[in-house]
Amino acid sequence: MTEGPVVATPYGAVRGRYENGLAVFRGIPYAAPPFGPRRFQPPAPPEPWDGVRDAGAFGPTAPKPPYSEPFARLLADPVVPGDDCLNLNVWTPDPGAGARLPVMVWVHGGALTRGSSAVPVYDGRAFARDGVVFVSFNYRLGVEGYGLFPDAPANPGLRDQLAALEWVRGSIAQFGGDPERVTVFGESAGAISIGALLASPYARGLFRRAALQSGPPEATDRDKVRRLVRRMAARLRIPATAEAFAAADRDALAEAQAEAGRRASPVLGGPAFGIVVDGDLVPCEPMEALTGGAAAQDVELLLGWTSEEYRLWLAPTGLLERVDRLGPVALAGAMARCRSGPEVPRGYRLIHPGASTGDLVGQMVTDHLLRVPLHRLADAHRAASYVYEFAWPSNVPGLGACHALELGFVFDTAGLPEAARLAGPGAPQELADAMHSAWVRFAVDGDPGWQAWDATHPVRMFGAGEPEVVYGPRDRELALWEADATTVEPPPVPPRRTVLPLSMVRRFRRTGGVRRP
């Protein structure tokens, strides 16, 4: 405890560790423990401490249910017990004030219900090795961070993220970082969170650049969140209030949350926790703010997706094969999910004549939910946006170029056992070198190394060979949605308690998707 770098923060000094020539600090509180009277409330500053606080180990993770078994095999999600879960970590090549190095702040994904900064794939050593001060943090998840109650403010988890960025603004110079050169980047729910922060007046000036990986700016319908809270309350036999939930056992809350959200997925839909428009931190729909000029336009953007996002959501549970067996019923369900006319699935079939029904449904929903809005965002921020697609297929059978697969390459941690769960053995190091260096370049000077977005729609493809720029690789599919929006009357929204047509839901429950005589 007498060795290791010591840095002063606004609340007290912390002692980190030297690891491979880099200074690493873990588990630094940026806010007080969000329990007791602070439960379901906005984050409060941490209590100052005397002396030097040890920052050698990851701090507690936010309460969360475990992944279901099929996903637990693929996605590492460590649990560190304790109440002080609003903490962050710093990797820096130079822990001295005055270095003024670029800063990258990671916002983890996990559907706003799982994940943490302690996931091994998110190790920041490669960024620090390459001259960047790297920060990652935990924030409240699930009902703790995104439940809607009549007696508590909305979006406490997003408010945690804002508090972490404010800590970076005020403290990162002491760790060698430049508070004027902050890049936030996140994947999936992390990217959705960044989209909301981009549109929030409270976050202006806290970061200069942003990378949104596989997640668009969006707000969740308040009714979807309320339905999930009510399901939990019914299971727990308590009122749907913050006061009642705060008095409930934490393990019981986690179990109720897992059960209430068991049937929901990005492809099938269903009630879910998410960021909501609250008239304050999120004053309006984030996409509307970002494309309509109501939000800051001076933030440089890196935007992208994987080629087969949907395979992580559908393949591990066998749902992809069940969708194949449903055939036209599944396509009708996709139309209802996306509120599209029949010309959209017909167009996808013409563009991809050899694709299975499961692949067509997956690509349709992925384009509607993710690629269309990210295209819109890039169009609204031309000359300051760069777009990529990750196309390398996993060596794990059935996963393809699925959601979250690019993370081990962006972090240059693809060789870790936890990354190999998703990528399989033999992930190409040259691909990690290319992606990681592009993210570092973007943080350093705002240019990841390829042409900025314009009317030709340049997309950097990271695949099995040398990365290359392809022009308009998704334009034919995305044009179908533009035509659909202008010429086709969308079908009615499905009944509130169903996401797919009722016949499809019943068949799934009765037969597992197999048509029986």
Strand ranges, E, within 340-472: 385-390, 458-462, 468-471
Mean local confidence (pLDDT), 247-251: 90
Note the pTM of the prediction, 2 decimals: 0.92
Distances (CA, A) of 204 to 21, 109, 113, 283, 411: 34, 22, 26, 14, 26
Q: Does residue 100 surpass a pLDDT of 60?
A: yes
Mean local confidence (pLDDT), 99-110: 96
pLDDT value, residue 12? 97
SS3 182: strand
Output DSSP code: residue 208.
S
- Among 49-58, 208-217, 257-266, 354-363, the minimum mean pLDDT is found in 257-266
Are the C-beta atoms of residues 381 and 210 closer than 8 Å to each other?
A: no
* Conformation bin of residue 293: beta by default, left when phi > 0, alpha when psi is -120 to 50: left
Q: Does residue 380 surpass a pLDDT of 60?
A: yes
Active site residues: 188, 309, 403
Q: Does residue 512 surpass a pLDDT of 70?
A: no
Are the C-beta atoms of residues 362 and 320 closer than 8 Å to each other?
A: yes
Question: Any residues with CB less than 8 A from the CB of 180 and at least 6 apart, and which?
Answer: 208
pLDDT value, residue 296? 65
The CATH class that applies to domain 6-217+280-320+369-500 reads: alpha beta
pLDDT value, residue 501? 46
Task: Collect contacts of 447-451 with beta carbons under 8 A, ≥24 apart.
Answer: 447/386, 448/302, 448/386, 448/388, 450/386, 451/386
Buried-exposed string 14-38: b where 16+ CB fall within 10 A, e elsewhere: bbbbeeeebbbbbbbbbbbbbeeeb
pLDDT value, residue 285? 95
Q: Does residue 267 surpass a pLDDT of 50?
A: yes
Task: Collect contacts of 485-491 with beta carbons under 8 A, ≥24 apart.
Answer: 487/341, 487/343, 488/340, 488/341, 488/342, 488/343, 488/344, 489/341, 490/339, 490/340, 490/341, 491/335, 491/336, 491/339, 491/340, 491/341
The dihedral through the CA atoms of 371, 377, 379, 383 has a sign that is negative
Distance separating the N- and C-terminal Cα atoms of the chain: 71
Residue in 196, 59, 210 with CA at minimum distance from that of residue 137: 59
pLDDT tens-digit profile of 298-357? 899 999 999 999 999 999 999 999 999 988 898 898 898 898 999 999 999 999 999 999
pLDDT value, residue 486? 55
d(CA 56, CA 17): 6
Owner of token pair 């702040």 = 105
Output DSSP code: residue 261.
T
DSSP tally for the chain: helices H, then strands E: 20, 14
SS3 407: helix
Across the chain, mean pLDDT equals 91
Residue 504 banded pLDDT, cuts 50, 70, 90: very low
Mean local confidence (pLDDT), 270-289: 93
Q: Does residue 425 surpass a pLDDT of 90?
A: yes
